[in-house]
Amino acid sequence: LWGSTSDDWAYRNEVMGTSNEIIEVAAVDFIKCLEKYGIPFYLKADIVGSETICLKALLEFENKPDYLSIRSEKVIFRRLEAEFELLERLGYNRYKAIQQEFSHLKVSINSNGGEQLYSFEEGGSGPFAEETEGEWKTKENVLSDYKKIFVYYWLFGDYSYLIQTEKGRKFIAQMERLVRRPLPGWFDTHARHSTVESKSTKIKKQTASLKTQSAWLLFAKIIGFGFSFLLPLLIVRYLSRENVGLYRESFLVIVNAAAILPFGFSMSAYYYLSRETEKRNAAVFNILLVNFVVGGLAYLALFLYPQMLGNLFKSDELTLLAPKIGLVIWIWMFATFLETVAIANQEARLATAFIIFAQFSKTFLMVGAVLLFGTVESFIYAAIIQGLLQTAILLVYLYYRFPKFWAAFRPAFFLEQMIYAVPFGLAGILWILQTDIHNYFVAHKFSSAEFAIYAYGCFQLPLIAMLAESVTSVLIPRMSELQTVGDKQEMLRLTARAMQKLAFFYFPIYVFLLVTAQTFIITLFTTDYLASVPILIINLTLLPFSILITDPIVRAFKELGRFLLVLRVFVLAALIAALYFGLQSFDMLGMITIAVVAVLIEKAIAETVIVRKLGFGRKDFHLLKNVGKTAVVSLAAGVVTYFVYTNTKAYLLDVGEHFAQEAFHTTKLSVLNFAGGSLTLFISALVFVPVYLFGAYFWGVIEEDEKLQFKNILEKIKKVRSLFGKKQIPNPQSQIQN
């Protein structure tokens, strides 16, 4: 006999010849229980008449258990149908009606890597999910099974004629001994959610591989690089060096503020969208809320106290622009979440479209501002318009991917997300300060025109940063998944693979730019910026060390996040002290040297801790063999290119400039610099690239699957060319005159 909250069960107890007593017990709110502990993988509800309370509670949550089972209705068939209607509303579409008597059942289960037989105790719940017996059925088919089951309930069940008499109960007991199972027994409805596939028919659907996702994101950023590459070339040619400095100072503040002020909340999407699936909507809303509020406060601060920027950069022009700069910060802080949420949601192709749109719209509006107005203020207005367009797309995306996310706010979860995000956010803030704070010291000490020299000496090709971002953004959710299951060896393998991919591009780019640094600066920024060359060479030192993977692994281990935070505090404090001393004693070369050394010190310490955490040892060095090979091949290609470059540079510059004069009828120095420098870089690349690829190919740096992919691409190109190259043979019949 059982207790229940249902009056029907009280009547049933009386039919069975027993009495009832009403008692009060403390109730547990099932919704609060799910909010606290999360949505389970498997839900078992057998509460003698109150199972539908649990099912209705699930309606309040976006995610549902993959599998559940409930004690099914035994008396009124319409109630049973109502249970199935509720299950359908929850998204369940496959069912089993299972006799819950398992006292004689022995099953084989996995235990510590082996298999053993397990006997269920009397009253046990038995196997669940895909380990239950029988095939999954549709609602119609399982209801047909229940119609037969209800016949047994009518003959032998709690409300049957037999159960109400002593002789009848004895007869049922004798029949149970004869058939060796309860009559009619009790049945549970087992349900499988529509998002789950059975093991027998399952084709394992995994998220796109690291290589595929990285390739999509890299493709997007390469296209974006193509759009944005034109912008700095136009700016240095249409604006005075003073205005170029003002432009760089303005967007230095905008980009840094948009990244720093949200305290890493946006980046927490990589963690919560891949792990805490039942909290996805709440995580997204919390991020938007923080970005909106913090961005608004930044705008308000610069609106009320615009002199903050003017005093920092010693510029009256920036004091006038400060309120507009604050508005851009507010909008961009909100809008730039678009790319992050798409990647965190593991929609690499959609993220590709968003990135391309963002870069295209930004470049289109900025180039228009350069050509039509040529003022720093016009750039800021262009940034405002672009941010508003991107915000509109973000809201549409969230509306369809995270329905009713605005109604998912939970104060307790907001606090949890803040506790997770803020340490990483602080570490990120410290990293940005560590890599960019030298710009503020230089801008404070030197004029805007001199800062333009320094800024373009610190210039980094967007393509280089895109490679790292594409790999890192995909690695973050993947590393979180692997850390969850404790697969450190796979984490090591993926890290080494990512380093190998980055080294394949970073090492040769570093060597090539080191050889051609002077021509590179002249080509992009004209001879007005020749003083940037030594700054560029020092800054390039960071490039080969950029293959080290830190952020995805640190985010997978919370304790590493705290360590990195402390480390960056100490490194930043030392950096600020050195830069402050440099205000009195160093020129711009000294300032960039201090900044580079600080970054290298942190990387060395952080990587040491990470390799220990992952258990990297001698047995794992083979994972990095291709990284070493890439370095050697890059140096060899650089030596060959150096001899060609030094002996042909003057001649090629002269040929290129002469060609520009004849072809474009111009003597404008900026055009001549671009033409002559481009020819020199092109010929140097024609030497460097074949030597590098030849060495990489024959030394095994390029792997067999990559060689095969390259051959397939060439075959497709040949097929396309052959289609267009076919000559149309006239049909002789068409030439017959009737």
Domain edges within the chain: 31-193, 220-402
The mean per-residue pLDDT over the stretch 338-354 comes to 85
Question: Does the pLDDT of residue 499 top 80, yes or no?
Answer: yes
Higher pLDDT, 21 or 699: 699
Q: What is d(CA 366, CA 379) in angstroms, rounded to the nearest whole number?
A: 6
In total, the chain counts a number of residues equal to 738
- Using a CB cutoff of 8 Å and minimum separation of 24, what contacts does 84-89 make? 84/139, 84/142, 84/143, 84/189, 86/52, 86/55, 86/56, 87/55, 87/139, 87/189, 87/191, 88/139, 89/59
Comparing 125-134, 243-252, 307-316, 586-595, the range with the smallest average pLDDT is 125-134
More confident residue, 2 or 367: 367
Nearest Cα to Cα of residue 77 among 145, 5, 6, 1: 145
292 pLDDT higher than 90: yes
CB count in 10 Å sphere of residue 290:
23
Chain centroid to Cα 547, Å, comes to 19
Average pLDDT, integer, range 482-505: 85
> Residue 3, by phi and psi: left (phi above 0), alpha (psi -120 to 50) or beta?
beta
- The pLDDT, as a whole number, for residue 440 is 93
Query: How much is the pLDDT for 304?
Result: 95
Question: How high does pLDDT run on average in the chain?
Answer: 82
pLDDT at 416: 85
Here the tokens at position 224 are 């974006």
Given this model, what pLDDT does residue 120 score? Answer: 63
Amino acid, res. 397: Y
Rounded Cα–Cα distance for residues 481 and 491 (Å): 10
Q: What is the pLDDT of residue 204?
A: 40
pLDDT of res. 159: 62
Quick one: pLDDT at residue 9? 64
- Which tops the pLDDT comparison, 715 or 145? 145
390 or 148, which is more confident? 390
pLDDT exceeds 50 at position 614 = yes
Q: pLDDT tens digit string along 410-430?
A: 888 888 888 888 877 776 787
Q: Which of 4-8, 189-193, 451-455 has the lowest mean pLDDT?
A: 4-8
Distance CA 689, CA 682 (A): 10
The amino acid that residue 340 corresponds to is: T
Where does the pLDDT of residue 576 fall: very low under 50, low under 70, confident under 90, or very high at 90 and above?
A: very high
Q: Which two tokens stand for residue 68?
A: 């559940």
Q: What percent of the chain has a predicted confidence (pLDDT) above 70?
A: 82
If we measure between CA atoms, which residue out of 75, 69, 26, 79 comes closest to residue 47?
A: 69
Q: How far apart are the first and last CA of the chain?
A: 101
Banded pLDDT at 243 (limits 50, 70, 90): very high
List, for residues 153-209, the tens digit of each pLDDT value.
767 666 666 666 667 677 767 776 665 666 666 788 899 988 885 433 443 444 445
Q: How far apart are CA 174 and CA 170, in angstroms?
A: 6
Determine which helix (DSSP H) or strand (DSSP E) holds 731, and give its type and residue range. Answer: none
pLDDT value, residue 139 = 86
DSSP annotation of 732: G
**Over residues 266-289, mean pLDDT:** 82
pLDDT at 331 over 50: yes
- Mean pLDDT across 31-56: 82
pTM: 0.62
Amino acid found at 369: A
pLDDT digits (tens, 9 = 90+) for 642-687: 999 999 999 999 998 888 888 888 778 788 888 999 999 999 999 9
Residue 380, CA atoms < 13 Å, CB-side half-sphere: 24
